[in-house]
Structure 1
Amino acid sequence: MRYLFVLLTATLVACGGDKTPAPADTPAPEALRAHSQLFEQGVVKVTDGVYVAIGYGLANSIMLEGDDGIIIVDTMETVDEGERVLAAFREITDKPIKALIYTHNHADHVFGARAFAAPGEVPVYAHESTGYYINRVVNQIRPIITTRSMRMFGHHLPDGERINDGIGPFLGVNEDSSLFALPPDHTVGERREVTIAGLRLELVHAPGETNDQLFVWLPEKKVVLSGDNIYQAFPNLYTIRGTPYRDVRRWADSLDKIRALGAEYLVPSHTRPLTGADAIRDTLTAYRDGIQFVHDQTLRYMNQGLTPDQIVERVHLPPHLAEHPWLQPFYGNVAWSVRSVFDGYLGWFDGNPSTLQPLPEGERARHMAELAGGEEALLERAREALDGGQAQWALTLTDHLRVLRPDDQAVADLRAGALRRLAETESNPNARNYYFTAAREAGEGLHPGFRTESPDGFLATLPIDNFLGAMPAFLKAEETLDVHEKLGFEFADSGRAFTLEIRRGVAVVHDGLDDDTVAVLETREPVWKAIAAGKRGAVAALAGDDLDIRGGKVAALRILGYFEKVD
């Protein structure tokens, strides 16, 4: 029944155990340490009526003060953080909140919303697709995205190993965090003009880091709130936690829309604001040119038949862009971006026939050991590589060794050592955090854990379709190759019904109740959502008359048992 619990944590992460302290002298590039100055906590006054809260979490929250109220743009990643930000804003004004605006769907911009307003209390503006993306918090790949996010943001790392998170000081989610996004109820297509609290705003669709990205333009103040399409670091044209392809060509086009405004104040949703029309124009120009350069040069070499590995060796920002203070690789990375652009256009196959049907990893590992003169010789070569300062080659060799010796602590320790060596000199926080976390997984047996509280009120905002639609990806297909059965769901409160069909290794969910179900679960939507989220037990719900099974109870429980339980 707990197959859905992890799906409710979005890309949010939480502690899964105590952190082993980092050595007091853990090495880190000085440039990365200096980058932390961007996240000094406090509220910055940008211009009259425009304030930005920086350093309270991964993202910024922005307050726009009008005649008789305020507008909050982006709401932090947790309700707790949102409350701290609101308390800071309340030191400036006690005017009532008139509206919330989400620049996009990312968790660090929406899940603190309940701190600023109750459901239905104020209008919530966002792009017309943002609600869909927030609802995708319940989806098929959330477990792996969550784990990879924990590595990337260094959530299990002590200070010293984790210096910052590139676009913010930290992702501030822990086991006590409360997550509550208010669903958007005032949506934007391509452009919408509104006046709120006497402030005239233009909300403009500007796809880039996300498809639903908006920027907010205050023409009378010459202020633009750019969301996540620009921040003081090379953009995450690809994120190593994993996302669908980000259309980098459209991202550059969206920056051109902002550039054309002639803004005198630019307020990103990460890092610090920028002032001055000339500085803003020049920075936007460099930023969009950096994006287009990577895109165009990758396509150039793709069309010459080069593989991603070969293109990575050739595509480097020209000096005037590589040296720009807003294009330093403290979040995104040119090489990762090249690989993403290649994959976005051509998919996974790099064009080299040897990679079309590669040997299974076990067979490759055995051949590598044979070339080295045996497993012990391969282990010794990996040690020599690490001792000789070749950490990446040592790490590569341990890829083979851990296949051959999955339970060998010597291999695990060697792999951890290589990962730490790479981390210590890495200035990109995403890579540094990923290396250090993976080292703790290899050497200490860390299993990145997650558990955050999603209040019942927040669960109620998620469509029941999401909870049922996530089930097929958790089917234990090997146990159902000879099974063809249907289970029905009826929700008395909404009047909706669904059929879950298991068809010889495939699960399908559709609207409506088929006549040939072996049983029907009868309940209300909040009850099933709580069961799926691990907040209630099915047996307790049955005993308490909140859940009933019409038909074969044994068959119903057997069908539910065909799905993975994610703890």
Structure 2
Amino acid sequence: MTNDADKAHSKDKIDVSVGGTVLERYFTGKTEAAYVADNTLFLTADYVNLIAFETSDGLVLVDTGMVEAPKIFDEIRKKTDAPLHTVIITHGHMDHAFGLNPWLEAGEKPRIIAHENMTRRFRTYMRLAPMNIHINRVQFGMEADIHWPDKEEQFPWPDTTYREQLTIRVGGETFELYHHKGETDDSTWVWAPERGIVCTGDLYVGMLPYCGNPQKVQRYAEEWADGLEAIASVGAELLLPGHGHPIKGKDEIRKRCLITAETLRSIVKQTLEGLNAGKTHEDIMASIKIPEHLAKEPYVDPLYDKPEFIARAIIRRYGGWWNGFSSQLLPAKMADQSKEIIRLAGGIEPLVDRARELIDSDPALACHLAEWAALGAPDNRSAHECVIDVFNKRAESEIALIARGILSHAVRKSQKALATLE
């Protein structure tokens, strides 16, 4: 069932040596498949990874992709004509779960396995499709139309679900599925003991975990750490993540998972200590520091999320949304606050001038001043030009993709406002 000629070519091998950062594989525009172990295909589809295990009963596919689904199907079919036996969805996010259509159109009828919470996630997606379109446009700077499923027939509903752990046998091989909350409450990681391979979904991605997204539903830092520690304990020789490079070597896999877990636990500990001390949310966020022995490791770099965002998510989970400032409990609208600030400043220009003065020395405060100017005087060109310059400068200096996306959203809003003023 496997095209042995394909396996024989060295160019068909993906480097699984230690090293490489995840963002090197983000948004590459490429779809490629290669063998990383015997009968084990690893696919990179633009920015998400999939794994296809070849067995004597057919393929076991871990995740399905989304936008690149037809290319994924074609790439796998270049390597093997084995039937699709089982699909395991590691979590219900769009980039991992919504690429089955080409397989179904080809007549495949796989068993679909996922955690029991995934069905609830899909029903929430149906209720909040417009919101999800909006927040992803903000986060990723998407101006084109985005399709978000909102009908039952558009979802890959699982026919087999589990709660804590599930063991399946396909082609005489064992595949163990484990649930740990993390980026989602429906996360699954897969252990193939006979192969010594673990598929982590988004529980391990080679950077600071995506545990504090400012626009999205609750993440679970402590349970995420639990999951990483469990992954470390199985003794895998090859780790295949949902994003980024494969990791080879039992010791290296264990080290990376445990360091990442320790980083999350450090953020949790500092955040809860701040809550117990009665600190305001902003003081807690400002005080979060990753210990040096952890921060030096490149695989916990804040390339997508930020430690302070994770702290904010922990606060939201345990301490509510009120930030500790009484005026913020029932606040005036930001536009009304901004108009009053402009009046007190003596007009727009003092705010704009001061924002530009602070753009290098205090970019956070510069952003406040620029945004107040634009909100309080939405028809003022100078205010929007200031927003564009200040927020662009701050976005360019920001490492984390989420932060960069949201800061850039302010730029796009003011650019659109300027276009209407011409």
TM-score > 0.5 by shorter chain: yes
**1:66 alignment partner AA:** T
Change (3 A) 1:441 1:352: closer
- 1:112 matched to 2:110? The reply is no
1:414 alignment partner, one of 386, 390, 393: 386
CA contact (8 A) 2:59 2:83 kept: yes
Change (3 A) 1:36 1:105: closer
What is the deviation of 1:352?
A: 3.3
> What's the CA shift string for 1:307-341, capped at 9, x where partnerless?
12111221110111111121011111101111111
Q: Residue 117 of structure 2 contacts residue 186 of structure 2 at CA under 8 Å; is this kept in 1?
A: yes
Tell me the distance in 1 between the aligned counterparts of 2:356 and 2:199: 51
Determine if contact 1:112/1:180 at 8 Å carries over to the other structure.
no
> Equivalent residue for 2:39?
49
Offset of residue 176 of structure 1: 12
Residue 302 of structure 1 corresponds to which residue in structure 2? 275
Aligned to 1:522: none
For 1:11-410, list aligned pairs within 5 A: 36-39=23-26, 41=30, 42-54=32-44, 56-78=45-67, 81-118=68-105, 121-140=109-128, 142-156=129-143, 180-240=154-214, 242-386=215-359, 390-410=362-382
How far is 1:155 from its partner? 2.6
Per-residue Cα deviation, 1:41-73 (whole angstroms, up to 9, x for no partner): 43242211222111x233211101111311111
**AA paired with 1:273?**
P
The separation in 2 between residues aligned to 1:245 and 1:364, in whole angstroms, is 30
Aligned amino acid, residue 141 of structure 2: G
* Structure 2 letter corresponding to 1:202: E
CA distance in 2, matches of 1:348, 1:135: 25
Separation in structure 1 between the aligned mates of residue 409 and residue 351 of structure 2, nearest angstrom:
25
Deviation readout 1:67-101 (Å, 9 max, x if unpaired): 131111111123xx112112112222111111111
CA distance in structure 2 between the aligned counterparts of 1:187 and 1:267, rounded to whole angstroms: 22
C-alpha change, 1:302 and 1:340, in structure 2 (3 Å) is same
Amino acid at match of 2:246: P
Classify 1:446/1:213 alpha carbon distance in 2 versus 1 (closer, same or farther; 3 Å). farther
Q: TM-score of the superposition, structure 2-length normalised?
A: 0.86
| Unaligned ranges ≥5, structure 1 | 1-32, 158-172, 448-567
Structure 2 CA distance, aligned partners of 1:188 and 1:146? Answer: 29
User: Counterpart of 1:401 in 2: which secondary structure?
Assistant: helix
Report SS of the residue matched to 1:105. coil
CA contact (8 A) 1:124 1:185 kept: yes
- Retained in 1: the 8 A contact 2:387–2:410? no
| CA distance, structure 1, for counterparts of residue 76 and residue 193 of structure 2 | 23
Any stretches of 5+ residues in structure 2 without a counterpart? 1-19
**Conserved in 1, the CA contact under 8 Å of 2:305 and 2:403?**
no
Shift of 1:381: 2.7
The structural deviation recorded for 1:402 is 2.3
Aligned to 1:562: none
Q: CA deviation at 1:281?
A: 0.6
- Aligned CA RMSD, in angstroms, stands at 2.7
> Post-superposition shift, 1:132?
2.2
Q: 1:34 to 1:246 in 2, by over 3 A?
A: closer
**Counterparts in 2 of 1:446 and 1:113: CA distance versus 1, 3 Å:** farther
User: What is the one-letter code of the residue matched to 2:194?
Assistant: E
Q: 1:61–1:74: 8 Å Cα contact kept in structure 2?
A: yes
Residue 208 (structure 1) shift = 1.1
* Larger gyration radius, structure 1 or structure 2: 1
Give runs of aligned pairs for residues 478-497 of structure 1, distance below 5 A: none
State the number of aligned residues. Answer: 394
Partners of 2:117 and 2:337 lie apart in 1 by: 45
3-state SS of 2:331 partner: coil
Name the % identity: 28
Q: Distance between the aligned counterparts of 2:180 and 2:395, measured in 1? A: 35
Q: Which one is further off, 57-66 or 33-42?
A: 33-42
| Structure 2 contact 221–264 (Cα < 8 Å) conserved | yes
TM-score w.r.t. structure 1 length? 0.65
Shift of 1:357: 3.5
Q: Secondary structure at the match of 1:225?
A: strand
Write the distance in 2 (CA, Å) between the matches of 1:35 and 1:445.
Answer: 35
Post-superposition offset of 1:362:
4.2
